[in-house]
Amino acid sequence: MPTTVYELTSSSFTGGPTREDLLDVITLLSPTDTPFFTMFKKVKTQNVQTEWMVDLLDKAASNAVAEGSSATFNTVTVRQRLLNYHQISREDYDLSDTVRATRQAGVRDEMRFQMAKALKQWKRDVEYDIVNGSAGSGAGASTRCSRGIYYWLNGFSSRTATVTGSNTGNNLQEDDLNAMLQRIWVTGGLADYVCVTPTQKRHISSNFSGSANSRRTAPLTNNTLVNVVDIYESDFANIRVLPHRWFDASGVGGANLQRVSFALQHDKWMIGFLRAPKNVPLAKIGSSERAMVEGEWTLICMHPSANAFVSGHHSAATSATDFPNN
């Protein structure tokens, strides 16, 4: 009889025969909300450059005429064309045949799992370009880019010039917001959203004068302290206060959008699809499976002057935590 006795260690975590316990669950915490992409109407387009027209009435004035006088004719105002370029956005992924053959925790089909992730990433990146996109580039450019919201509202040179505002304090000021909404209203627009960074959302809830009189229905049995403003009732519009994650301090066009707040009339924006996003399997080369999610889109601003922005929030009012790292 052998005299040596083999025993497991006293630690249950290091015992040789002990199986690992790996839950068949994958948790994705990265934010996937895309408010502008979801909110704006989708339309089908037919070219890499999409154009539309805007018009104006003459300035209001007295039009009384003498009895029996002859008609006089003013020069007809020429309608103006606006345009934007279609941007190709793509997310690609590939998996080795070995990975596909092995058993993966948390998923039944790794390829389908990666496709779902690519679709979410594609939509999120398009949302980023809707906000932070450049001034737009088309013919002659190596890569076509769609003009983003900020560049529709800042420096857009035409007689439909945007209504702009400047900030008088480090954070978005209530007077500046109301002045911006007034300018939009006088122009003929009716803003229904003010879109801000998370830091500015907290500032509105805590520091706007009306926040102390805010009302929210809550069960009386709950010990609830309310300090939030979701809808701001102004003299010129009732607007929803929308915190937005994707205002970048160094966007595609180089602007620091952490220092900017938008007021938008959402029905004056559309997303045009030349090619709606689609998962496309790619040719197999070697021992891997490859695919991509690709779509071709543009941001359509039906009339810039129905929207506005306030700029100049002090750099101290921006926060590195306002923009997700994942």
Boundaries of every domain in the chain: 35-52+81-214+228-314
Please name the residue that has the structure tokens 């003009």. Answer: 147
Average pLDDT over residues 131-152: 84
In 3D, which of 44, 46, 84 has the Cα closest to residue 298?
Answer: 84
pLDDT confidence of 221, banded at 50, 70, 90? low
**Max mean pLDDT range (237-241, 252-256, 307-311, 312-316):** 237-241
pLDDT confidence of 66, banded at 50, 70, 90? very high
Q: Which of 110-124, 137-151, 269-283, 299-313 has the lowest mean pLDDT?
A: 137-151
What are the C-alpha distances in Å from 8 to residues 2, 3, 4, 5? 18, 17, 13, 10
Residue 16 has pLDDT above 70, yes or no: no
Q: Which of 98-112, 148-162, 178-192 has the lowest mean pLDDT?
A: 148-162
217-256 burial code (b ≥16 CB/10 A, e <16): eeeeeeeeeeeebeebebebbebebbbbbbbbbebbbebe
In 3D, which of 129, 207, 133 has the Cα closest to residue 174?
Answer: 207
Percent of the chain with pLDDT over 90: 48
CA distance 217 to 199: 25
Average pLDDT over residues 203-209: 88
Average pLDDT over residues 50-54: 94
Q: Which CATH number fits domain 35-52+81-214+228-314: 1.10.150.120, 3.90.1690.10, 3.40.1010.10, 2.60.120.260?
A: 3.90.1690.10
Residue 147 has pLDDT above 60, yes or no: yes
CA distance 109 to 99: 10
Residue of higher predicted confidence among 246 and 163: 246
Provide the pLDDT for residue 157.
45
Average pLDDT over residues 250-258: 83
Neighbours of 204 (CB within 10 A): 23
Q: Which of 2-6, 16-20, 155-159, 263-267 has the lowest mean pLDDT?
A: 155-159
Provide the pLDDT for residue 5.
56
Task: Using the Cα atoms of residue 207, residue 258, residue 122 and residue 152 in order, give the sign of their dihedral.
Answer: positive
Provide the pLDDT for residue 64.
92
pLDDT confidence of 214, banded at 50, 70, 90? low
Q: Which of 30-34, 93-97, 171-175, 267-271 has the lowest mean pLDDT?
A: 171-175
pLDDT confidence of 55, banded at 50, 70, 90? confident
The residue ranges of DSSP E strands in the chain, in sequence order, are 41-44, 49-54, 80-85, 87-96, 163-166, 193-196, 231-233, 238-243, 260-264, 269-281, 288-301, 308-311
Residue 158 has pLDDT above 50, yes or no: no
Average pLDDT over residues 54-64: 87
Tokens in use for 230?
């979701």
Average pLDDT over residues 80-93: 94
pLDDT confidence of 142, banded at 50, 70, 90? confident
The pTM of the full predicted model, rounded to 2 decimals, is: 0.86
Paired sense of beta strands 163-166 and 308-311, if any: parallel
In 3D, which of 321, 310, 312 has the Cα closest to residue 199?
Answer: 321
Residue 265 has pLDDT above 90, yes or no: yes
Provide the pLDDT for residue 138.
66
